[in-house]
Structure 1
């Protein structure tokens, strides 16, 4: 069976895309709800350099001035990303906003790679546990299929020219 690149036009692309947008929307909504039900699940994926001092030890003892991107607490970042994912879940279901939303979701998943890389880096330190290493090493490679999935929805329902 030949491999078809996501978004490539072939006979089953209409059927595939008819299910792909609602499926990614459901995944995003489930993740958004988890952000509020179990924010601790996402805690280690938010890089220290993005977080104001919220009781955590700053990255490598860095003073707040050394973290110019630290505009919110870790909990605020988790809540904001949950809200963004919920909005994206809705946007993927609306044909008129699907292309823009899918582009944004692909970019969002791309940005999440930095958090996953940072989580792997911290888990591989001596204070990291083998469980943390295993979890974060498994979560990091999942970002590429998610990025490709979102990107493939940019042309969902469009007829080839």
Structure 2
């Protein structure tokens, strides 16, 4: 074990304290879902244009500028089934469903697996946003934000995956 004392410390915690991971993930997801609807523009940059039904230029770019720059038309994007705003709303709803599902023991394993898949799928948007931030139209602020935002997906993916285990089992199958 990488941190041998952590096993001892976990044993000394009351059972409820060890089981706070699912409620903590749920609270994070509820806050994020709420933010999707309160401030959808915050998420515009992480929705890849290839998923957007209309000619959806990167934020700060006009449709004409995107077309002139060679941005593909919606017809050339088979994955473009929703608008950027619809993708943001759907991801907010998925986070809301995950927040509820992760709290309910009968649905926790399925919700955790679905959240793992969702966070993994979100990598495409974060990589695309980072690529655009370092492109000719990217700003230093966008570069900083997306450089920090992308690596945050790894712990979220691992955390969601670890919640597939019953409350008393930690990631890796180690009993506390």
TM-score range (shorter-chain normalised) is 0.7 to 0.9
Alignment: residue pair count: 156
Is the Cα–Cα contact under 8 Å of residues 54 and 74 in structure 1 kept in the other structure? no
Structure 2 CA distance for aligned equivalents of residues 55 and 105 of structure 1: 26
Aligned to 2:130: 120
Secondary structure, aligned partner of 2:164: helix
The structure with the larger Rg is 2
Q: Deviations over 1:66-121 (max 9, x none)?
A: 21100010000000000000010000110110011001101110000110000000
Q: 2:144 aligns with which of 134, 139, 151?
A: 134
Cα RMSD (Å) of the superposition? 2.4
Structure 1: gaps spanning 5 or more residues: 5-9
Deviation, 1:148, is 0.5
Quote the Cα distance in structure 2 between the aligned partners of 1:55 and 1:41.
15
Tell me how far apart the structure 2 counterparts of residues 95 and 72 of structure 1 sit (CA, whole Å): 32
- C-alpha deviation, 1:53, in angstroms: 1.1
Report the equivalent of 2:21: 20
Compared CA separation, residues 132 and 95, structure 1 to 2 (3 A): same
Partner SS for 2:131: helix
Superposition TM-score, scaled by structure 2 size: 0.80
Q: Distance in 1 between matches of 2:105 and 2:78?
A: 38
Q: Determine whether 1:49 maps to 2:50.
A: yes
**1:54–1:73 CA contact under 8 A, matched in 2:** no
Quick one: higher RCO (CA 8 Å, sep 6+), 1 or 2?
1
Give the Cα–Cα distance (whole angstroms) in 2 for the partners of residues 22 and 119 of structure 1: 30
1:33 equivalent to 2:71? Answer no
* TM-score normalised by structure 1 residue count: 0.87
